[in-house]
Structure 1
Amino acid sequence: MLQKIKKRKTLVYAITVGTAFFVFIGIGKAALNEPGTLEDPLVTQSYVEKRIEQVKYYIDQKIQEVYGNVNLNTTNIQDLIKENQELKKRLLELEENKSKENINTAIPKLEVVELKNGQKLICKAGTEIILRGGKAKAIAGELGGLSDVTGAVDIKMDQNIPPNHLLIVPRDDGRGVYVEKYAIFMVRGEYEIK
């Protein structure tokens, strides 16, 4: 029985000495390893700062290779940022103005046009005419008259224009209307008064 106890003590002693031996060897190796290597991945702040400085130097060298001796100080960069912001602002203003122009020109407004004493309203193709007051007669072209959309008829030369009917000038060949005394029209599109 005493022998068993002695064997156990010897075994425990051997295990303890072996474990201590391996621990001391590991500590010794860790102390000898340079920070940042595969054996010692933990690094110090000074090591990280040293590497950052090396990377900055490398980047500066590459910039010098690409741009030569261009002075890229912070004043120039701030000026470029300011100019970029001003250009973006101007671009937005131009886009807003363009969209407003598109809205205003996409659908031309109806204009009130008054004609007196034998005046003529000569219209371009696509112009819309509505007689609101007075009396007027049609001026037709060689290929036909005015298209009365409301009445679904073609108004021929010297025919009376019906009031409040939508008329469309189909061609740009001198078609329009004329009045002997006085008339008021609503007109959308290009025209000239003669």
Structure 2
Amino acid sequence: MKRWQKTAALSTVLGAMLLGTTAGANTNGLGSVNDPLVTKSYVDQQIAKVSGGSTGGGGGVEVESTLKVVQLQTGQQLIGQAGTEIIVRTGQVKGLVSPGGDGLSDVTEGVDIRGTRVPANHLILIPRTDGRGIEVTKGPSSILVRGSYEIKK
């Protein structure tokens, strides 16, 4: 068999394999009415509809997806919901425990804070929405917060 005949035969075989693969790939209905392909902008619009289109909460509750600087004075409390992250930057702050006596998670040290002073520059996590948070004992205090919270005076 001559070289050009081998090349032609190989091209024919590869072409048949490609057509078979293409035809087989389309049998699962991708792009059909029952399983449409959508654009990223369409998906983003649908997610915005479900989430209300913003990060702001209602009823005096703030929701943030980025770290926000909050200034608190002596006696003010920041009450977080489950998953809220807190970092104390300045001032003296104590942890507020839940009615059952459970505390805050100090992720930096790996300990539970139960009504004691919250160390500066430690990542604190609110594990449940049950009234846990922080209270400024000596202010003013600068706090970094990510998540849902409310400030009580």
TM-score, normalized by length of structure 2?
0.58
Aligned twin of 1:193: 151
Structure 2, unpaired ranges of 5+: 1-37, 56-63
Distance 1:99 1:184, change over 3 A: farther
Aligned residue runs from structure 1 range 1-194, under 5 A = 95=42, 98=45, 108-141=65-98, 142-157=100-115, 159-180=116-137, 181-194=139-152
**Structure 2 counterpart of 1:183, one-letter code:** S
Give me the whole-angstrom Cα distance separating, in 2, the residues matched to 1:111 and 1:176: 16
Larger radius of gyration: 1
Residue by residue over 1:36-90, the C-alpha shift from the partner in whole angstroms, topping out at 9 and shown as x without a partner, is: xxxxxxxxxxxxxxxxxxxxxxxxxxxxxxxxxxxxxxxxxxxxxxxxxxxxxxx
Q: CA deviation at 1:93?
A: 9.4
Q: CA RMSD in A?
A: 2.8
TM-score, normalized by length of structure 1?
0.46
Instruction: Choose between structure 1 and 2: higher strand proportion.
Output: 2
**Structure 1 counterpart of 2:93, one-letter code:** A
Instruction: Choose between structure 1 and 2: higher helix proportion.
Output: 1
**Structure 2 counterpart of 1:192, one-letter code:** E
2:87 match: secondary structure: strand
Residue by residue over 1:5-30, the C-alpha shift from the partner in whole angstroms, topping out at 9 and shown as x without a partner, is: xxxxxxxxxxxxxxxxxxxxxxxxxx
Give me the whole-angstrom Cα distance separating, in 2, the residues matched to 1:129 and 1:178: 12
* Higher-RCO chain (CA-CA 8 Å, sequence separation at least 6): 2
* Maintained 8 Å contact 2:79/2:151: yes
Q: CA deviation at 1:98?
A: 2.7
2:108 match: secondary structure: coil
| Count of paired positions | 101
Matched residues, percent identical? 45
